[in-house]
Amino acid sequence: MGVYAVTGAASGMGRAVAEKLETEGHRVIGVDIQETDIVADLSTAAGRRQAIDAVLEAADGRLDGAVLAAGLGPVRDRSRLPVIAAVNYLGVVDLLEGWRPALAATGAARVVAFGSNSSTTVPVVQNRTVRAFLAGDTERAVRSVRMFGAQAAPFVYAASKIAVSRWVRRHAVRPEWAGTGIRLNVIAPGAILTPLLERQLATPGEAKAVEAFPVPTGSFGKPEHIADWVSMMLSPSAEFLCGSIVFVDGGTDAYVRPNDWPRAVPLRGVVGYLRKFLGFAATRRV
């Protein structure tokens, strides 16, 4: 049985994942802002450093896997935007960078970062916001959405999830990740009955919008559904799963954007495409 770090382990999908892994006999090191093994505020640099160091100590420098489920929803409170940005992006990438040596030490680690189907269903997310996240500048990311005023939260949230997904796809294939046996992937849940969604459904001003959200399967998902998928993505069956984004959203992404992807490489991208093929072949010859 393995040792897994799970952020956001105190509630919602993170808690469901932690409980699933423990039921399977694994040891879980939970990280959250309250009520778990390691209490840390992932919105601050000090809190992220604390989480990194405490997990490494608890795991004795070896992790069989990690699940980055901690995140904050698009609460419409402008004062919360910096916190949403920091937790949702830096709370994933900083911890993964800090834990990478421990993951590599096992030779066959599995990592699942939580994205969201908001990455493909929220319209007009600004590229500059995503670029700011990928540069690690969450303050600039927040400034970039000022034009949206009181409606800025969904754009910060969606951009953070796009950035996490791109970060994973960029890093998953690199020698220091894939080459050391680490399989790094993203799960993108849709409308899941977490405490956040339940509060929204109980708020008349928000319930109507939530209930109008298209879910072709006809009902919201449950945290246990996501936990089952994460368990598979952490298993030996995921040996060939690398840099993938798995949507578990009741068909929302397919309903909203059925023709947007997959897409063939466009003509303007052929040179870069061939360069990557030749570059990969050259590394195999070395």
| Phi, psi dihedrals of residue 191, rounded to the nearest 5° | -80, 105
Which element (helix H / strand E) includes 225?
A: helix 223-233
Whether 84 contacts 156, CB under 8 Å: yes
Catalytic residue (choose from 89, 157, 255, 273) = 157
CA–CA gap between residue 34 and residue 247 (Å, rounded): 28
CA–CA gap between residue 118 and residue 161 (Å, rounded): 7
Whether 133 contacts 139, CB under 8 Å: no
CA–CA gap between residue 115 and residue 184 (Å, rounded): 12
Q: Is 157 a catalytic residue?
A: yes
Whether 114 contacts 69, CB under 8 Å: yes
- Cα(first)–Cα(last) distance of the chain, in Å? 36
CA distances, 139 to each of 50, 58, 103 (Å): 21, 32, 30
Whether 74 contacts 84, CB under 8 Å: yes
CA distances, 251 to each of 1, 127, 162, 232, 257 (Å): 33, 25, 19, 20, 10
Q: Which residues are catalytic?
A: 157
